[in-house]
Amino acid sequence: MEQPDDWILEVREVTFGYSYHRPAIEGINLKIQRGGFVGILGPSGSGKTSLLKVICGLNKPWYGSVKLNSDKTGKPKIGYVPQVESVDWTFPVTVKEVVSMGIWNDSGAGPWISKVAVEKIRYALESLKIEEYMSRQISELSGGEQQRVFLARAMVSFPDILVLDEPTSGVDYNTREVILDVLRKLNQAGTTIILTTHDISAVAKRLPRLVCINKHIISDGTPVEILTDENLLHTYGLVDGEN
């Protein structure tokens, strides 16, 4: 894949793992275009979550580095939406509180929000259709509803790069379309989007750029270039990769 000139994030020769001698990802090189929309595709255990956490600074690479390219507005800010199943919601917290975390985390100076921010927050809640249950406990929501709350929390911190781990996994058809639609609109407004998926037909095929990984990068390009039998065989170890 030709590397973009106006890049926002670069992963260079990154190797990372949890136990000595057993890297989860190895020798990863990835340059992401400013305003890009990239899907990372791979089977369970292929290192997708590990890579996203390296990108967000939550995992420190053994080797290599992650570089962010500043522009005139400064260093790009990253918003991370973790996989819903990875979060323990037994702690009592309402939707409103969770979404607010995205604002307070970022505002620094205190609990004052600009009018523009209020508008953007309203937009996030409306487009994700979660305004009506702002006062409900997170633990009472379905997986798809929790996923949208997570996305809203990341959106209200106004990131330049939005990183999402399996945002459409385990959600119903309507929720998946709402999420993809919101992501497309954010992308059109300039947000760079990086997501992982194992859904080839409903998600990956519809993205402009795909990166297949299985510990290493197997391939990188457009869906037409990437979704070949040979790449799927190398990525998934099987030809029919629809899982």
Two structure tokens written together for 37: 């929309």
Give the number of residues in contact with ligand ADP, rule: CB under 6 A: 10
Determine which residue in the list 39, 47, 82, 102 makes contact with ligand ADP, applying CB under 6 A: 47
Neighbours of 168 (CB within 10 A): 24
Task: Determine if 211 is a binding residue for ligand ADP (CB under 6 A).
Answer: no
Pick what 42 binds: ligand ADP, Mg ion, none; C-beta below 5 to 8 Å, kind-dependent: ligand ADP
Residue numbers 40-99 binding Mg ion by CB under 5 A: 48-49
Task: Determine if 42 is a binding residue for ligand ADP (CB under 6 A).
Answer: yes
Task: Determine if 55 is a binding residue for ligand ADP (CB under 6 A).
Answer: no
Q: Which is nearer to Mg ion, 130 or 217 (CB)?
A: 217
Q: Which is nearer to ligand ADP, 38 or 121 (CB)?
A: 38
Task: Determine if 18 is a binding residue for ligand ADP (CB under 6 A).
Answer: yes
**Burial letters 75-108, b for 16+ CB under 10 A, else e:** ebebbbbbbbeeeeeeeeebbeebbbebbeeeee
Q: What is the DSSP string of 147-205?
A: HHHHHHHHHTT--SEEEESSTTTT--HHHHHHHHHHHHHHHHTT-EEEEEE--TTTTGG
Would you tell me which residues interact with Mg ion (CB under 5 A)?
Answer: 48-49
Would you tell me which residues interact with ligand ADP (CB under 6 A)?
Answer: 18, 24, 42, 44-50
